[in-house]
Amino acid sequence: MSEQQVETAVLEEPAPVRVVGEVPDTSKGVFRPITVVGNPVLQHPCETVTAFDEELSALVADMFVTMYAAEGVGLAANQVGVGRRVFVYDCPDDEGVRHIGVVVNPVLDELDPAQRTLDESAEGCLSVPGAYADLARPEYAVVRGQDQFGKEVVVEGTGFFARCLQHETDHLNGYLYIDRLSKRDRKDALRQMAELTPRYEVVPNA
């Protein structure tokens, strides 16, 4: 492809056509520093949420503010140091649809083998700042849980959004994406992280 063609291809890329979910009100939220690999809160399964109260709504508002400030597409509660099963997302899928929402107590559906088509793409994480690595994951995911008011939700994703749903649920189960890499790729990701200063405030590891 010539340089001209590359430019044309970029210009012709369609803008997001549809939003699934609601753009959150971030006026009441505050940024919370982000935990990074090595912090124990990222290495243990988070606790089930039982109280759908104002404290939870405040946590969700802060998580959206934090995710946007750090320019992420998803954020799990233990990434702001809270070991509870909550994640937020604002993430495009491969069709240009923008998905926004909250899942409390998420559980991924087991896919039948026919649905398990793997997609190998680059993945990154706000808790491993500056690092990216290719990782194969199913290109389709369904997660079930509740919203911040306790209402049942089912969120279905394809492509990059399916990756996000799996990545965030992994966080709440105590796993980082680098835990799914080969030893060599994990080491490389940690080296990439060590070479960069994060562009947002992080919680220093003890």
Please report whether residue 125 would count as binding Zn ion according to CB under 5 A: yes
Which region, judged by CB under 5 A, interacts with Zn ion, from 9-17, 123-131, 150-158, 183-191? Answer: 123-131
189 near Zn ion, rule: CB under 5 A: no
Q: Which is nearer to Zn ion, 88 or 104 (CB)?
A: 88
Catalytic annotation, pick one of 13, 168, 195, 201:
168
CA 189/CA 49 separation, integer angstroms: 32
Contact of 20 with 97, CB cutoff 8 Å: yes
C-alpha separations of 111 from 116, 123, 125, 138, 195 in Å: 6, 21, 24, 9, 38
Q: Are 66 and 58 in contact (CB under 8 A)?
A: no
168 in active site? yes
Residue 127 CB, nearest approach to Zn ion (Å): 5
115 versus 205: smaller Cβ distance to Zn ion: 205
Q: Does 36 bind Zn ion (CB under 5 A)?
A: no
In sequence order, the 6+-apart residues with CB closer than 8 A to the CB of 38 are 205
Which residues sit at the interface with Zn ion, rule CB under 5 A?
125
Which residues are catalytically annotated? 168
